[in-house]
Amino acid sequence: MSIIQTGGSDVAGGSGLTGARAAVAAAFFAQGFVFISLTTRLPRFLERWGLDETTLSLLLLMMVLLAGVGSLVTERVVRHSGSALMLRLGLLLMVVAVPALTLAPAVAVFAGAIAVYGIALGLVDATTNMQAVDLEHRYGRPILPSSHGYWTTGGISAAVVALATGHLSPTVGVLVAVVPLVIAFAPYLPRVAREPQGVPGMSYGGAGLTRPVASPVAPAAPVVAAPAGPIPWGPIWLVGSGLVVFYMADTAAAAWGPVLLALDLAAPGNLVALATLPYLVASMVVRLAGDHLVARFGVVPLLRIGAVVAFGALALVALAPSWPVAVAGFAVLGASIALVAPLSFSAAGRIATISAADPATGRPAAEPDRARTDAVIARFNQFNYVGALLGAVLTGFVGAFSLRVGFMLSAVLVLALIPLAPAFARGTLRRPGSEPVTDAAAGH
């Protein structure tokens, strides 16, 4: 039985948010497009510069560490300038990094370009999620899954381009920079000193998801902002651990999947992008439907079932006798873990608004403090890079003899999502002007 309540406006001021939502979707698209464009070209970079898996792992380690630095810098700067400015800066840094990576005349320039891209990656990762979390609170309903779906759409577009241009000169990769250049000037949510005061609106605990409902009684009295309580980092750490597990599997597939097909399974050179394309297509379908899936089935069941399926998919990749079987495994993996990342950022954004003023109910006392939420998202984004280290670097080191061993490690670790799933259902999604709703963490 669906207990989604109707009544009231579905979107508070939604008509004024359409442009910002399209801009944020475009930013996610650009991030996915650039990232997958580069990872599908890793075999060519290995060949061009004579790098082995260990050296490439060290370069990826540098990139991930610098992405973490970029995310931390973003946390400090957005307090004064807002996330839109830093998002544009990150996209423009990509415009510099992509041609430098593609046309580098020496390996030192190639390494420097990876460093610049790493910083840009951190800026864009943090700020796109800041903008999406803010939009989700303004809309009063889940939009993070579909927002991340546009990242996946960008990745699919990049994989298709890589397949279509695999026979062309590597210099064609310079054109990838056009995408972030255009999207850098989109109309993102501007910086505001403080959101209008309101009351919590919506439970997000699973099948008990409810939309804000206009009160049938007298209007609520004006809400006075209460002093923000301490940020509940304990629950955020649990959700972050789930994000680490996701990015380990995700980055292993994106960074090492093409290498596995090329070196271990003898896939044709122009088809190595197939490690990424089916994975992304399956992920895109689930993410774009994710807003409705979460409302219908609940956060916890979706994550637990996905973890079991992901284990089987990664085991299939690790044991694949041929490259078509591995490609099938990557496709199943993409569908099974697609919702972990968007639901983790959504959960972190909700948990960040929990105030110590009412620990019994977990309901925040005032309208979301955007600066507080942005700071939490920037720090939470570090879990992204811990997972990327495990996925990109450990998969390479552990799989130095055979990448199959690295993928089997990911298969075992992804099962950690089963006990971690309930942490993703905490917190309350709020919309300006709506009445508080009791946390209904159903679906546990």
Give helix then strand counts, H and E, for the chain: 18, 2
Is a pLDDT exceeding 70 seen at residue 143? Answer: yes
Give the pLDDT band (50/70/90) at residue 400.
low
- Residue 425 in contact with residue 300, Cβ under 8 Å? yes
Structure tokens at 254: 């994106």
pLDDT at position 284 is: 93
pLDDT over 90 percentage in the chain? 32
Mean pLDDT (whole number) for 177-198: 72
Mean pLDDT (whole number) for 266-290: 81
Is a pLDDT exceeding 50 seen at residue 47? Answer: yes
Give the pLDDT band (50/70/90) at residue 355.
low
Phi/psi at 429 (nearest 5 deg)?
-85, 130
Mean pLDDT (whole number) for 127-149: 90
Mean pLDDT (whole number) for 273-300: 87
In this predicted model, what pLDDT tens digit does every residue of 324-348 receive, in sequence order?
898 899 999 999 999 999 999 999 9
Give the pLDDT band (50/70/90) at residue 5.
very low
pLDDT at position 440 is: 32
Give the pLDDT band (50/70/90) at residue 127.
very high
pLDDT at position 228 is: 53
Q: Name the residue among 402, 412, 48, 112 with its Cα closest to residue 245.
A: 412
Mean pLDDT (whole number) for 420-431: 78
Residue 220 or 182, more confident = 182
pLDDT at position 406 is: 82
Across the chain, mean pLDDT equals 78
Which stretches within 3-140 are classed as H helix? 18-39, 42-49, 53-81, 83-103, 107-139
Mean pLDDT (whole number) for 28-47: 84
pLDDT at position 309 is: 97
Mean pLDDT (whole number) for 157-176: 77
Is a pLDDT exceeding 90 seen at residue 226? Answer: no
Phi/psi at 234 (nearest 5 deg)?
-55, -55
In this predicted model, what pLDDT tens digit does every residue of 83-117 receive, in sequence order?
899 999 999 999 999 898 888 888 888 889 999 99
Within 13 Å of residue 431, how many CA atoms lie on the same side as its CB? 26
- Residue 277 in contact with residue 156, Cβ under 8 Å? yes
Give the pLDDT band (50/70/90) at residue 368.
low
Residue 216 or 32, more confident = 32
Task: Among 193-202, 221-230, 423-432, name the most confident range.
Answer: 423-432
CA angle, 337 as apex, 131 and 347 as ends, to 5°?
Answer: 40
Give the pLDDT band (50/70/90) at residue 1.
very low
248-262, 285-299, 361-375, 382-396: least confidently modelled range: 361-375
Question: Residue 329 belongs to what H/E stretch?
Answer: helix 323-336
pLDDT at position 418 is: 96
120-134, 194-208, 270-284: least confidently modelled range: 194-208
pLDDT at position 303 is: 96
Mean pLDDT (whole number) for 399-424: 87
